Amino acid sequence: MLNFDFVNPTHIVFGKDRIADIAKLVPEQAKVLILVGGASAEKTGTLAEVRTALGARQHATFSGIEPNPSFETSMKAVLQVREEGFDFLLAVGGGSVIDAAKFIAAAVPFEGDTWEILLKGGRNVKSALPFGTVLTLPATGSEMNSGSVITRRDIGAKLPFGNPRLYPKFSVLDPTKTYTLPTQQIANGVVDAFVHTVEQYLTYPVNAPVQDRFAEGLLQTLVEVGPRLLAASEPNYDDRATLMWSATLALNGLIGAGVPQDWSTHMIGHELTALHNIDHARTLAIVLPAMLNERRVQKREKLLQYGERVWSIRTGTDDERITAAIEQTRAFFEAMGIPTRLSEYGLGADAVDTVVRQLEAHGMVKLSEHRDVTPEVSRRVLEAAL
Amino acid sequence: MLNFDFVNPTHIVFGKDRIADIAKLVPEQAKVLILVGGASAEKTGTLAEVRTALGARQHATFSGIEPNPSFETSMKAVLQVREEGFDFLLAVGGGSVIDAAKFIAAAVPFEGDTWEILLKGGRNVKSALPFGTVLTLPATGSEMNSGSVITRRDIGAKLPFGNPRLYPKFSVLDPTKTYTLPTQQIANGVVDAFVHTVEQYLTYPVNAPVQDRFAEGLLQTLVEVGPRLLAASEPNYDDRATLMWSATLALNGLIGAGVPQDWSTHMIGHELTALHNIDHARTLAIVLPAMLNERRVQKREKLLQYGERVWSIRTGTDDERITAAIEQTRAFFEAMGIPTRLSEYGLGADAVDTVVRQLEAHGMVKLSEHRDVTPEVSRRVLEAAL
């Protein structure tokens, strides 16, 4: 096991009818800016519940945070907060709204050009506004971590940042708030949580059996619950709750503590989203199977363990078992209704060049747990994913 | 899944050579009282490392905290803190020293009779001194939770209490600090972590597959690593690290979030320790197999799942599989060198009466996830454990 630090102070408030708890969670004197995406939080009544819980506290609503939240939109909120003196943010939505909240929280007190926060990966964040979240879309895990990804539209760049000051004070996770989501969003959530887990698990062994078992437990659970979520004619509370808690646990720092981490699939996926506006989870479903195949030597032992424990693959040569594990992974994504080939998104060989150039431009030239996924390796992965 | 709140702010500092980090973790102006048990922290050099890390900070050492820490000894430390004005506690040791630190932290600012803290289970704790820990004995999980158990010697009472103000600010977990432990302590740690997990897992199903998988992952890991820890002629770093992290995760609130919890085995075990000074883990090894057998109807579904997933029991009638799962549990404890019968500790039928009377005296009359383990049920369990 590797040395590690683990700390996660976010208060999770999980279950039915928990939005009312916001009344106790937000400081009484706070002046609150509610952040939302489109119109759905208003339409579903979630926003009304939130406003009721805020009671007599001063509050306003900033709407229009887009999927893959932009620097440009977030900066409008930053200016509003600075001008009107809000001192608490409340993100109501999915990972995009929460990621934007983290950027806004960091940018409001930031001195200088706020784009520098992204360029420095958040290391230059010295203080941040406090914020809470009400999660309506289980997927990214942003509700219980201190990381975020922001896209700058004018230059087509999607960059991650993080800082220990950016944990939500609290996150309300009410599974019934996912009932109105389109099926595609649920499928995206399953795949996103799955790949988050894989990025922290499918590396090389360091004798960390608990981390392995926890990661495998999440993967097994997502494999069990994913198809059931898609097939259900009516939302099932327990399955929604399981997806919600799994997605949170997949990226709250726990399963990655003390083990190597990869994240190369994510970095390549971010470029695909920035350039071609493909849903985050879908870019992961495109890149991961090709990446695992490309890295079958470096990931050999963990691929065999993954095949056995998650997919019950116990026969065949090592190579056959690895191939079967990768194909099961691809089949799982496709069964969730998510195509795994670039061509199915209308992209051809010319797209590969652009993505590789963007990876180079953003310094993503030594990816993976071994720091040996160079642009040349990324190119091979993308070509295999055509 | 049941509604739940989960929050755990303790900063875990895990790995080799991490005691030096205390220099950054304790406030610079703090006046620190170090709490230790016997002489081992001094002898092994751990205390010297801690003092070096504290640097120029004022500090003193309070030693003599016993296994199953007493109200009486803890109160001596409380008086010293009050008289000499310490404002930070640093527990160096195992669960006993850490549990005492929690009581001292709560008692120092407490107004009135501090025994009331125990009688009210900690609900009356309004503030507490901040404290950190350096763990040298993996077992109780006290290093990452807000609970504690204190024994009052004069009346033979061992009572639990807890409060959200009693999370350690940080806990340093260096697996090499366990190298000097006697084998029996390692065995106790494995069994303690195992039973902590079982108390939060072996109840009734509530459709919480992630919690189940995490609990099973801990149990599988302890079953794998336990015998290896005992058989090793030299301490193995990774196995020690695995035990240490498993014991922490077994009782930091995570696996119990959103599921029913039992704890009847613990409550009966506490009385055995208070009356007969049997190691905590050993009391659990005595009570648990008898309890599971007594509760085989109420715990039927989870016992079958436990048998299959932890012990690979897949053949036989339901009753045969449940019996096999319980017998595997008993055999595991015995393989760890821990007898599972009261008679092996020199106790006979007359001991049963006294334990049952103490349970009644302490209000432990509606135990378990169903609150139906009455003193009469506890009596049957103890008689079956003779």
CA–CA separation, B227 vs B233, rounded Å?
12
Is residue B168 within 8 Å of B143, Cβ to Cβ? yes
> Residue for token digits 């901040």?
B130
Contacts of B266 (CB under 8 A, 6+ apart): B195, B199, B284
Instruction: Give contacts of B2 with chain A, Cβ < 8 Å.
Output: 15
Is residue B166 within 8 Å of B148, Cβ to Cβ? yes
What is the predicted pLDDT for the residue at B157?
83
Same domain, A127 and A113: yes
CATH of the domain at A142: 3.40.50.1970
**Pairing status of strand B88-93 against strand B32-35:** parallel
Same domain, A158 and A120: yes
Task: Extract the tokens encoding B208.
Answer: 């919480």
Contacts of A377 (CB under 8 A, 6+ apart): A294, A367
* Sheet containing B32-35, strands listed edge to edge, beginning at the edge strand earlier in sequence: A59-62, A32-35, A88-93, A131-135, A170-173, A4-14, B4-14, B170-173, B131-135, B88-93, B32-35, B59-62
CA–CA separation, A256 vs A279, rounded Å?
24
Task: Extract the tokens encoding A90.
Answer: 């409340």
Residue B156 clears pLDDT 90, i.e. is over it: no
Task: Please name which of A251, A270, A243, A89 lies closest in space to residue A181, comparing C-alpha atoms.
Answer: A243
> Residue for token digits 């944990």?
A167
What is the predicted pLDDT for the residue at B155?
87
DSSP state, residue A194:
H
Q: How many helices (H) and strands (E) does chain B have?
A: 15, 8
Is residue A107 within 8 Å of A60, Cβ to Cβ? no
> Residue for token digits 């930070």?
B88
Q: What is the mean pLDDT of residues B298-316?
A: 98
Q: What is the mean pLDDT of residues B172-190?
A: 97
Reported as a single tens digit per residue, the pLDDT across A38-59 is 888 999 999 999 999 999 999 9
Angle at B109 between CA B108 and CA B114, to 5 degrees: 65
- Do A14 and B6 lie within an 8 Å CB cutoff? yes
What is the predicted pLDDT for the residue at A157?
83
What is the predicted pLDDT for the residue at A235?
96
- Kindly identify which residue of chain A lies nearest to residue B258, measuring between CA atoms: A14
User: Is B2 part of any domain?
Assistant: no
Residue among B7, B12, B257 whose CB faces A5 most closely? B12
E-assigned strand segments in chain A: 4-14, 32-35, 59-62, 88-93, 131-135, 147-152, 157-162, 170-173
Instruction: Give contacts of A239 with chain B, Cβ < 8 Å.
Output: 207
Same domain, B222 and B277: yes
Please say which residue of B156, B177, B198 terminates a domain: B177
Reported as a single tens digit per residue, the pLDDT across B193-242 is 999 999 999 999 999 999 999 999 999 999 999 999 999 999 999 999 99
Same domain, A245 and A380: yes
Residue among A1, A13, A224 whose CB faces B5 most closely? A13
Same domain, B241 and B290: yes
User: Is A3 part of any domain?
Assistant: no
Same domain, A377 and A290: yes
Please report, for residues B46, B56, B90, B211, the alpha-carbon distance to residue B62 in angstroms, rounded to integers and kept in the order given. 15, 19, 10, 39
Same domain, A305 and A256: yes
Same domain, A108 and A214: no
Residue among A12, A15, A18 whose CB faces B7 most closely? A12
User: Is B5 part of any domain?
Assistant: no
- Do B15 and A3 lie within an 8 Å CB cutoff? yes
Instruction: Render the burial of B183-218: b for 16+ CB within 10 Å, e for the rest.
Output: eebbbbbbbbbbbbbbbbbbbeeebbbbbbbbbbbb
Strand pairing partners for B34? B61, B90
Chain B interface test: which of A245, A309, A310 (most B C-beta within 10 Å): A245
Grouping H, G, I as helix, E, B as strand and the rest as coil, residue A121 is coil
CA–CA separation, A89 vs B151, rounded Å?
45
Query: Phi then psi for A16, rounded to 5 degrees?
Result: -70, 140
Residue among B16, B206, B213 whose CB faces A221 most closely? B213
Task: Extract the tokens encoding A355.
Answer: 């993505």
Please say which residue of B177, B197, B230 terminates a domain: B177
Average the pLDDT over each of A133-147, A150-164, B289-303, B333-347 and give the range with the smallest value: A150-164
Same domain, A208 and A298: yes
CATH of the domain at A206: 1.20.1090.10
Please say which residue of B158, B177, B196 terminates a domain: B177
Chain A interface test: which of B143, B210, B255 (most A C-beta within 10 Å): B210
Is residue A189 within 8 Å of A247, Cβ to Cβ? yes
User: Is B319 part of any domain?
Assistant: yes
Strand pairing partners for A70? A151
Task: Extract the tokens encoding A300.
Answer: 């050999």
- Do B207 and A10 lie within an 8 Å CB cutoff? no
The model carries a pTM of: 0.97
Helix or strand (DSSP H, E) at A344: none
- Do B241 and A1 lie within an 8 Å CB cutoff? yes
User: Is A1 part of any domain?
Assistant: no
How many domains does chain B divide into? 2
Residue among A9, A14, A16 whose CB faces B9 most closely? A9
What is the predicted pLDDT for the residue at B231?
96
Instruction: Give contacts of A221 with chain B, Cβ < 8 Å.
Output: 209-210, 213
Instruction: Give contacts of B14 with chain A, Cβ < 8 Å.
Output: 1, 3-6, 257-258
CA–CA separation, B382 vs B367, rounded Å?
14
Dmax (CA) for chain A in angstroms is 66
Residue type, A300: R
Helix or strand (DSSP H, E) at B10: strand B4-14
List residues in chain B touching A: CB distance below 8 A: 1-16, 18, 206-210, 213-214, 216-218, 220-221, 224-225, 238-239, 241-242, 245-246, 249, 254, 257-258
- Do B213 and A217 lie within an 8 Å CB cutoff? yes
CA–CA separation, A310 vs A331, rounded Å?
14
Contacts A–B by Cβ distance under 8 A: 125
Angle at A166 between CA A163 and CA A171, to 5 degrees: 145
Query: Phi then psi for A90, rounded to 5 degrees?
Result: -130, 105
> Residue for token digits 């003599």?
B64
Query: SS3 letters for B60-118?
Result: EEECCCCCCCEHHHHHHHHHHHHHHCCCEEEEEECHHHHHHHHHHHHHCCCCCCCHHHH
User: Is A4 part of any domain?
Assistant: no
> Residue for token digits 């599974």?
A175
- Do B15 and A1 lie within an 8 Å CB cutoff? yes
DSSP state, residue A4:
E
Chain A interface test: which of B17, B214, B223, B251 (most A C-beta within 10 Å): B214
Question: Measured between CA atoms, how close is B169 to chain A, in angstroms?
Answer: 10
Q: Which residues span the domain enclosing A230?
A: 182-384
Reported as a single tens digit per residue, the pLDDT across B229-277 is 999 999 999 999 999 999 999 999 999 999 999 999 999 999 999 999 9
- Kindly identify which residue of chain B lies nearest to residue A9, measuring between CA atoms: B9
What is the predicted pLDDT for the residue at B186?
97
What is the predicted pLDDT for the residue at A156?
79
Contacts of A19 (CB under 8 A, 6+ apart): A46, A49, A50, A53, A134, A172, A174
What is the predicted pLDDT for the residue at B1?
97
Task: Extract the tokens encoding A310.
Answer: 């998650």
Task: Extract the tokens encoding A312.
Answer: 């019950």
**Pairing status of strand B59-62 against strand B32-35:** parallel
Decide: residue A29, CB within 10 A, 0-12 exposed, 13-18 middle, 19+ buried: exposed
Instruction: Give contacts of B226 with chain A, Cβ < 8 Å.
Output: none
User: Is A289 part of any domain?
Assistant: yes
Instruction: Give contacts of A194 with chain B, Cβ < 8 Å.
Output: none
List residues in chain A touching B: CB distance below 8 A: 1-16, 18, 206-210, 213-214, 216-218, 220-221, 224-225, 238-239, 241-242, 245-246, 249, 254, 257-258
What is the predicted pLDDT for the residue at A158?
84
What is the predicted pLDDT for the residue at B289?
98
- Do B210 and A217 lie within an 8 Å CB cutoff? yes
CA–CA separation, A158 vs B29, rounded Å?
43
Same domain, B192 and B79: no
Indicate the length of chain B as a whole number.
386
Same domain, B206 and B352: yes
* CA dihedral (A111, A112, A118, A119) positive or negative: negative
Average the pLDDT over each of A155-159, B48-52, B84-88, B173-177 and give the range with the smallest value: A155-159
Residue A28 burial (CB count, 10 A)? 9
Is residue B280 within 8 Å of B273, Cβ to Cβ? yes
Sites in chain A below the pLDDT cut of 50: none
User: Is A38 part of any domain?
Assistant: yes
Instruction: Give contacts of B18 with chain A, Cβ < 8 Å.
Output: 3
Q: What is the mean pLDDT of residues B352-377?
A: 96
Same domain, B104 and B210: no
What is the predicted pLDDT for the residue at B158?
83
- Kindly identify which residue of chain B lies nearest to residue A217, measuring between CA atoms: B213
Instruction: Give contacts of A209 with chain B, Cβ < 8 Å.
Output: 220-221, 224-225, 242
Residue among A11, A16, A213 whose CB faces B220 most closely? A213
Question: Measured between CA atoms, how close is B110 to chain A, in angstroms?
Answer: 25
